């Protein structure tokens, strides 16, 4: 049933005395006018309806877009990040989570010094630092391939890694840059009671040691093996340091070599403190660096600024205190300062 606009019935009520002809003419004219008005009204109503629907659709779409596309972060250094990371809201971090207290797995979650530092950095950068665990000797390759954006895995910054060289000095990759964030020397870890009387690297000649593959500690043992000469030092390399520790604990090797904070933590916690002990003095003090592709200087510089910021605001010191590694603090962020 058609419903006419209110104006038509009102006009008819206001003209009761008109003649038939004038009424017809007037009514026809009025009717034409009213029909035009009705059409216009319907058109306007339709337009308004379409506009309203359009607004709802646009509004819904815009609202949906705003919920799916995160608003720009207000974090201090968000704008310093590369555009692709700003858009994704995530920095992918490669690690080997088998190196307590620096990075290890607890309750299915990667925890430790490095993840806590990363959490502090994320507050400055305004994006999530998402850790993925893999084997240590594959971490630099993960940067080359783009699978990861950063490495945080107690990785020592040295010229070999900066320049992409293998143990023989052969060029095998571009190398990576480092933002240096932690200082540590290395120490020997032996079975509790030190049954072999190991107190220095020289005491290892003629014996077997265990170590994690691809680390500077393996390099240190190789250098010592050369020094030992005919009194052969046998090196057993494993994918993880946990495997090397197991070998020492079982008596298959006399020592493992680790960063001092790690060696001290293992001696304190493994078997309730009954499995291992740290012997000798620290040597080869060096810097741990956050690894980043040489093709990503913008990301490197943003991370450096973020590290300086958390050193300044005290959150960096809080992390080191939590894990009892304050002696390994750096006073400022540096890039490629390793030797």
Q: What is the DSSP string of 25-93?
A: HHHHHHHHHHHHHHHHHHHHHHHHHHHHHHHHHHHHHHHHHHHHSPPPP-STTGGGS-HHHHHH-EEEE
Burial level of 82, CB count in 10 A (0-12/13-18/19+)?
Answer: middle
Q: Quick one: what percent of the chain has pLDDT higher than 70?
A: 79
Local confidence band at 31 (pLDDT 50, 70, 90 cut-offs): very low
CA–CA dist 114, 112 (Å, integer): 6
Q: Is pTM, for the whole model, over 0.75?
A: no
Tallying the residues shown for the chain, one arrives at: 339
CA distances in angstroms from 233 to 199, 202, 229, 253, listed in the order given: 15, 10, 8, 11
Please report the pLDDT score of residue 69 as a whole number: 53
In the block, tokens 């012997």 appear at 279
In the block, tokens 């699978």 appear at 147
Low-confidence winner among 29-38, 72-81, 128-137, 287-296 (lowest mean pLDDT): 29-38
DSSP single-letter state for residue 127: S
Mean pLDDT score of the chain, rounded to an integer? 84
Count of other CB atoms within 10 angstroms of residue 313: 13
Please report the pLDDT score of residue 71 as a whole number: 59
Longest dimension (CA), the chain: 134
pLDDT tens-place string over residues 45-88: 444 433 333 333 333 333 333 334 555 789 999 999 999 999 99
pLDDT tens-place string over residues 78-135: 999 999 999 999 999 999 999 999 999 999 999 999 999 999 999 999 999 999 999 9
Please report the pLDDT score of residue 37 as a whole number: 45
């Amino acid at each position: 049933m058609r419903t006419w606009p209110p104006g038509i019935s009102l006009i008819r009520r206001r003209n009761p005395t008109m003649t038939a002809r004038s009424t017809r003419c007037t009514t026809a004219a009025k009717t034409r006018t009213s029909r035009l008005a009705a059409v216009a009204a319907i058109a306007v109503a339709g337009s308004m309806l379409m506009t309203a629907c359009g607004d709802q659709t646009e509004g819904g779409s815009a609202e949906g877009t705003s919920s799916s596309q995160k608003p720009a972060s207000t974090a201090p250094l968000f704008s310093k990040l590369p555009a692709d990371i700003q858009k994704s809201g995530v920095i992918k971090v490669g690690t080997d989570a088998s190196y307590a207290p620096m990075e290890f797995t607890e309750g299915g979650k990667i925890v430790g010094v490095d993840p806590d530092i990363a959490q502090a950095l994320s507050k400055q950068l305004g994006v999530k630092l998402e850790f993925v665990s893999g084997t240590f000797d594959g971490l630099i390759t993960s940067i080359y391939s783009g699978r990861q954006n950063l490495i945080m895995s107690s990785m020592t910054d040295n010229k070999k890694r900066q320049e992409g060289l293998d143990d023989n000095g052969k060029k095998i990759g571009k190398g990576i840059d480092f933002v240096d964030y932690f200082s540590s020397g290395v120490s020997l870890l032996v079975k509790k009671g030190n049954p072999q009387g190991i107190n220095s690297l020289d005491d290892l000649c003629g014996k077997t040691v265990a170590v994690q593959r691809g680390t500077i500690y393996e390099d240190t043992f190789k250098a010592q093996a050369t020094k030992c000469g005919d009194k052969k030092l046998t090196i057993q390399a494993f994918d993880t340091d946990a495997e090397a520790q197991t070998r020492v604990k079982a008596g298959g090797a006399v020592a493992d070599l680790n960063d001092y904070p790690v060696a001290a933590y293992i001696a304190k916690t493994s078997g309730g403190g009954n499995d291992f002990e740290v012997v000798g003095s620290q040597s080869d003090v060096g810097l741990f660096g956050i690894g980043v592709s040489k093709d990503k200087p913008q990301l490197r510089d943003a991370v450096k600024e973020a590290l300086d910021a958390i050193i300044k605001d005290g959150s960096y010191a809080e992390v080191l205190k939590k894990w009892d590694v304050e002696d390994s603090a750096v006073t400022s962020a540096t890039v490629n300062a390793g030797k």
